[in-house]
Structure 1
Amino acid sequence: MLEFAGFLPILLLIGMATIQLGLVGYGISQAGSGARAAARAASQHGGDGAAAGRAAVSGWLDPRPDVEQGADTTTATVTVHVPAVIPLFGGWDVSRHATMPNDD
């Protein structure tokens, strides 16, 4: 019993680190989906890419889309904030970008 009590904090830390890695992976996936949606919507004539980028991402990740429309292509970057499970860390910002050709 004493050995288990001594090993329990290490097991909890490993479990929380595993959950944190899963949340970071989920945040990366959501940022990529939001960037693709924002670039696709903004590349079409009159589309609101920022709104599409925010709508494609889970709200608790606080998505921040940035859309740049060029002459031939539209590039969208979405940054999300992944909260920390381990109290010693403050969370991470992850971002992904996507480029789509303009619909002319």
Structure 2
Amino acid sequence: LFVWSQTTEALTDQQVVLGQSVTLACEYRLKGVIWFVMKLPARPEMILRTFGSKEEVEYYDEKFREKYSEGDRSQLVINNVSDDDLGIYYCIKPGFALQISDGIRLHTA
């Protein structure tokens, strides 16, 4: 059995200053998206799901409530950025066939 798969991943680099806040834009511009982060070698970690209203944000873990919030148009706001927040962030367009955005690589200088 031979399986071949080709993937191309477009990454946008976003430089941050530790201690400040940063806003990441989702390419889908929908009311409802899911945000997750990859910090290799760990598995992907779901952060939150938006529904188009800041009062309706669903956090996948309560520990994220102080760190992350929803910005305008399903943006992800990361407060008080630390080394632990550096990684590759993705948004997912939910639905029958999930679509995953290109990644945004958060890094320091």
Higher strand share: 2
So what's the TM-score if we normalise by structure 2? Answer: 0.32
So what's the TM-score if we normalise by structure 1? Answer: 0.33
Report the structure number with the largest CA radius of gyration: 1
Higher helix share: 1
With a CA cutoff of 8 Å and minimum separation of 6, indicate the structure with the bigger relative contact order: 2
